[in-house]
A and B are shown apart, each in its own frame.
Chain A
């Protein structure tokens, strides 16, 4: 079972409000990289609300070595983590690899993120490389000559604080007004539509995860939680390691879409809140005081959930080679997860090439351990929680999630 995230639902576009100006023939290309993986529905919702035809919103393909070789080679300006380095291939594919040319290449500099942890943490910023990645990558297409202009493409890279919705209309209006002939009001409406689309998508994903957890609870079966950055969902970045585990029959959850319903949160964290250890289920100050980075915060929170939720008996952690944000979190995350005996396996240093051999061996090890220890782990973790589990009180899972879980 796979949580259908961006890759699977890519075709589904949010519904458009009636467009004030005819932009239906404008083609916009978006490099499918970094935090586009967690905000794609915002961009789709936003652009369609402006009257861009859904079929004219083009995302680059999943990352691959071929993509980089064919479109990005020689355009890298510095050596760094692969999720940023591969962006040249995505840019190149959108510029050179489209049958129908795009008019605009939209590569937002996402400064902060909408996060369910906002208000409970110090900030929800993106990694400095995520926010500045476009400035770095564009240099490879401008340093000798303006490749965008040569190909008749307008390059637009709005600086956007998605974590502060009140700022976004102005930011996007300033960046896009000339290219799309926008006025402030329609931008504001489109931004709202974007947030609505993103929220609806996220809700749906969380509901699916809840159904999967409910299925596990009812059948006393373990599942595996992936702790990773959103772009590890990209098969070229995360190398689909979780799919190999899934093939052994273990349901997989991604931390980004864990359910956050109050009943479940109270069941997992209520006692600690009452004891004054934390202020809310989303308070991570007990484990991570420097909570500035959105994706990092969520990883730490996911680790806390994994340590408590009985049916999550195993965590797999993905991390890209040379990831500076992950580095300080390795030990705390492992300690958080393992405090309750939950199994923890890290796939670090992920790079361009899939280390198929070592993945295979490690997957076998993980399967062995999960099979061997899950029953006991579930029991032990259940014994540490209040008796009434809201998941067991849920209505029977829908046929869709039952079949997904099966």
Chain B
């Protein structure tokens, strides 16, 4: 009998554990959101005794590094984020050396989202690590749909309620503040003031998260949960933030088209080279941007199981559905408290049922991957409720789900030919082409914004001069935190004029 000769079969990357004892010396790296979200998340991690650091903001160089390290054909979020991690590790290796980098850092990323590449990002990361000779570097996935996963990956990271709720609350606070930022900056009278106040606000909120009272984070899960939901700790902090924003004066008579950003999760959230800095670019081109809050994605994750359970039969699953609905309502309650603390200026969350209903003839709500039916739903929601003049959908080159919903949008546009929709394919290195495409549609959006402004002036009989005189007598209306109700016009200027007309009456 021949003896068995072993073959060294291939095995996938398996990180060695990150132990509890290492917490004090190992820094958790993370990234993928905006600098505001990341800073507040850092506050949460610091609060719980972790060393944590966001990766530097994405640049074009990350695209090049990513392309070099992973197989061709990846979607641009994968390439950018892989390159971002690789470049950071390379720069650290140059200073600390390979072994020290492997000892000092671990990388934590969201994963496990199933059908598209998002669920496989770490395959690219590990390939990049191989390419850098860092096979032993530790990389961990955080499932985004479990709040209490216990001690994972060797006990170094404990995914429990204080962490998960802290992360969600940090994201929601950064979201409402981002809304405030984007509705203020285009109208600021003193250039740069918004960014300055924003920086101060985030620094202040970092401390708020950094100093969550430890005694509220221990004890039973219910107690921790109840404290987060009911406490004034976060809302007081946001009220304090609002006071800082009171000082910013704005000129809302500048007529600007409102552009709603939708698209693939990473690309729409990102602020930087990864999406050609498109939000800033739009502002420079004279638009007001409606940024996409991460809160809508979390709402989608919360709502989907309700729909699934209802499909199975409301009778059989009554208790489960009631519980899921209660969680969803609590989530909305928390978000609305945060909005209220900022004077109800941030946008409300769209009703998930409505998004589903609007998208139904075009894109089935159970189709997963990317933003699913929400891309179609959000576009129609903004159109039907006159929330924006134009939709700018950011679609990564070679993204699988996005190409499908963009295709489905052709059907939507067939029925609503006046819906202004700019699907922008982002490759990372074809900026001119993408922006000029957006520019064309933006021109029409501007025309519409001006037309509705003129219409409102004519309707109210007001003139710009009369409004200016009113503003002089009532300076509070020029505060950035002065809330202008939505009167059914997409543009801020049109709603402002209508509002003042009513006040003058």
Contacts and interface: CB of A to CB of B under 8 A. Distances in A.
A386 B403 contact: no
The contact size tier of chain B is 35 or more
A129 B3 CA distance: 48
A65 B370 CA distance: 30
B119 interface: yes
A399 B268 CA distance: 61
Given A327-B74, A383-B5, A128 B411 contact: no
B407 A137 contact: yes
A279 to B, nearest CB: 14
A80 B403 contact: yes
A125 B407 contact: no
B411 A324 contact: no
B119 A128 contact: no
Interface in A87-140: 109, 111, 122-123, 125-129, 131-133, 135-140
A14 to B, nearest CB: 28
Contacts of B437: none
Interface string A362-399: 00000000000000000011111111000000000000
Given A125-B114, A139-B407, A387 B1 contact: yes
B404 A129 contact: yes
A289 interface: yes
Contacts of A57: none
A127 B399 CA distance: 12
A380 B120 CA distance: 33
Nearest to A271: B4
B408 A293 contact: no
Interface in B352-372: 362-364, 366-370
Given A135-B367, A327-B72, A335-B10, A126 B410 contact: no
A135 B362 CA distance: 6
Contacts of A10: none
B414 interface: yes
Interface string B111-134: 110111101101110010000000
Interface residues of A, number: 66
Contacts, number: 178
Interface string A306-350: 011000000000000011111111111001100110000000000
Interface in B32-73: 71-73
A217 B382 CA distance: 64
A287 B411 contact: no
Contacts of A267: none
Contacts of B117: 324-325, 327-328
Contact of A286 (B12, B114, B115, B120): B12
A135 B364 contact: yes
Contact of A125 (B362, B368, B370): B368
A159 B404 contact: no
Interface of B: 1-12, 71-75, 111-112, 114-117, 119-120, 122-124, 127, 311, 362-364, 366-370, 398-401, 403-411, 413-414
Interface of A: 76-80, 84, 109, 111, 122-123, 125-129, 131-133, 135-140, 142-144, 159, 170, 271-272, 277, 285-290, 292-293, 304, 307-308, 322-332, 335-336, 339-340, 380-387
9 smallest beta-carbon distances between A and B, as pairs = A128-B369, A136-B407, A143-B414, A139-B411, A132-B404, A77-B407, A77-B410, A78-B407, A327-B73
